[in-house]
Amino acid sequence: MNDVDDVYDVVVVGAGPGGSMAAKTAAELGLKVLMVEKRQEIGAPVRCAEGVSKEELSSLVDVKKAWIAAEVAGAKIYSPSNEVITLSAEQAGNEVGYILERKIFDRWLAKQAAKAGAEVMVKTTAIGIEKKKESLKIKLRRMGEEFDVYASIVIGADGVESRVGKWMGIDTTLRLNEIESCVQYLITNLKYDMDYCHFWLGHNRSPGGYIWMFPKGNSSGNFGIGVMPSMAKKPAKAYLDDFLEKEGVDTTHVVEVVAGGVPVSPMEKASAERCLLVGDAARHADPITGGGIINAMKGGKIAGEVAAEAVKRNDFSAKFLSVYDRRWKEDFGKTLERNKALQKKLLKMSDETMDKLVRCLKDCDLKDMSVGSIVKALIKKNPKLFWDLKDLFL
Ligand SMILES: Cc1cc2nc3c(=O)[nH]c(=O)nc-3n(C[C@H](O)[C@H](O)[C@H](O)COP(=O)(O)OP(=O)(O)OC[C@H]3O[C@@H](n4cnc5c(N)ncnc54)[C@H](O)[C@@H]3O)c2cc1C
């Protein structure tokens, strides 16, 4: 007989934005929830540039000043030969608007889960899952001690290195062309326009990815790079260092370094019997921007709701839980799919063509960065270029 204290409706593995949102939602809906986090501190170290869309974030939580590091008016995008296009925050997508202080934000979100009734255990690593007839036995390790808890369902919010999916029979292996390898410095005394996020494009600078600078207030900013390992000839850090040297950025003021991977290839199914995957574990980051905070939170909320419904019906079958896949696909899945198709085409675009495209679009009064607006502008300004690039839009 198990001790009643170690039996939960849901165990959430990982306390990033996806896990905390799932734990909070499930607890609010009356479930007995445990959220475990392997690190000793929620939110640190930060492996993120911390940019999010204001509108999207506000639709998920009440925004608090305490965790907003900076607010930007939009984005400046630099072509390979430094043609610049300036976009408003609304035009620029789900990474531009607020720059969070994730050390505070992630912790705040985990506290919201705790407030709703979820138990939270830090320095606790999930090390395996055994499927029992009526439940899951989840093996945990906390400060050297191993113990088991039991749950009807597990939510894997364990990030890009997810193991929960594999334990539960979902193939989460990432190939070298399905991940961006990232390095980022938090640099002070920067001399850029701090009202904007900055993005530098070009395969020479960052093969299969881009370089960014997101302001964090007081002349400091997250300066980072993502490269696709299958296309890069050297490590991401070497590309970033080369770029910073060429830009004349003083790197004697780096106060933090982070490295990490972002999945850029969504998967078809993020559910299985007694299991739901959210956020990076489900590869829900955007294939073009690599932004994953908002989708992790959205997926976490949906997963919490689906888990509550499963408990109510006492149905943890793969068939019932596939409602989760249907719901995230209806919400942000179509955008992921569309951006994956676009990313494949952009990866083949030469730096020269990218220059032409940015040059052509920079003086256009685009309503938004939708394919429709871009096509209209291109046809008007440079029909030949539109014809050359038609594959990108069809
Ligand atoms: C350099 C870089 C820059 C980025 N910039 C942006 C950006 O500007 N905007 C944006 O939207 N996205 C950005 N992203 C992506 C974003 O960080 C992720 O998409 C987001 O954090 C995903 O949230 P998550 O909750 O799924 O996973 P995570 O935030 O990765 O959280 C997973 C948690 O699970 C824990 N964990 C893992 N295994 C276990 C285990 N076995 N047991 C217990 N706990 C475990 C981890 O310690 C971690 O805390 C960036 C990523 C990188 C690497």
Answer whether residue 256 shows pLDDT above 90: yes
Cis peptide before 45 (omega within 30 of 0): yes
236 alpha carbon – ligand 1 mean position (Å) = 18
- Ranges for all domains in the chain classified under CATH 3.30.9.10: 71-95+176-263
Burial of 103 (0-12, 13-18, 19+ CB in 10 A): middle
Mean pLDDT of the chain: 92
- H helices, E strands: number in the chain: 13, 18
pLDDT computed for residue 386 by the predictor: 74
Average pLDDT score over residue span 130-140: 96
DSSP state of 13: E
Task: Give the tens place of pLDDT for each residue, 31-55.
Answer: 999 999 999 999 999 899 999 999 9
Task: Give the tens place of pLDDT for each residue, 9-32.
Answer: 999 999 999 999 999 999 999 999
For ligand 1, pick from 42, 262, 294 the residue to mutate: most ligand atoms within 8 Å of CB. Answer: 262
Report the nearest atom of ligand 1 relative to the CA of 261.
53
- Predicted TM-score (pTM) of the model is 0.94
How far is 184 from 181, CA to CA, in rounded Å?
10
Q: Say which residue the tokens 């113990």 belong to.
A: 147
**CA-closest residue to ligand 1 atom 39:** 158
Number of residues assigned to the chain: 394
CA dist list (Å): 247 to 240, 241, 250, 251, 322: 10, 10, 9, 11, 49
For ligand 1, pick from 24, 48, 101, 227 the residue to mutate: most ligand atoms within 8 Å of CB. Answer: 48
- Ranges for all domains in the chain classified under CATH 3.50.50.60: 4-46+103-174+267-339
288 contact partners, CB below 8 Å, separation of at least 6: 264, 339, 342, 343, 346
Answer whether residue 370 shows pLDDT above 80: no
Task: Give the tens place of pLDDT for each residue, 153-206.
Answer: 999 999 999 999 999 999 999 988 899 999 999 999 999 999 999 999 999 999
* Distance from the Cα of residue 168 to its chain's centroid: 22
Structure confidence at residue 389 as a pLDDT band (50, 70, 90): confident
pLDDT computed for residue 379 by the predictor: 76
Report the nearest atom of ligand 1 relative to the CA of 182.
1
Q: b/e per residue, 143-156, with b = 16+ CB within 10 A?
A: eeeeeebbbbbbbb
**CA-closest residue to ligand 1 atom 31:** 16
234-238, 256-260, 373-377: least confident range: 373-377
Residue that wins the pLDDT comparison between 31 and 357? 31
Structure confidence at residue 364 as a pLDDT band (50, 70, 90): confident
102 alpha carbon – ligand 1 mean position (Å) = 10
Q: Which residues pair with 183 in a beta bridge?
A: 225, 259
| 83 touches ligand 1 (CB under 6 Å) | no
Write the CATH number of the domain with boundaries 4-46+103-174+267-339: 3.50.50.60
pLDDT computed for residue 168 by the predictor: 97
7 contact partners, CB below 8 Å, separation of at least 6: 32, 135, 149, 150, 151
Task: Give the tens place of pLDDT for each residue, 77-130.
Answer: 999 999 998 888 777 766 789 999 999 999 999 999 999 999 999 999 999 999
How far is 238 from 230, CA to CA, in rounded Å?
16
**Helix (H) or strand (E) run with residue 358 in it:** helix 351-361
Answer whether residue 328 shows pLDDT above 90: yes
CA dist list (Å): 298 to 100, 332, 333, 385: 17, 8, 11, 37
- The CATH number corresponding to 71-95+176-263 among 2.70.70.10, 3.40.640.10, 2.40.220.10, 3.30.9.10 equals 3.30.9.10
| 19 touches ligand 1 (CB under 6 Å) | yes
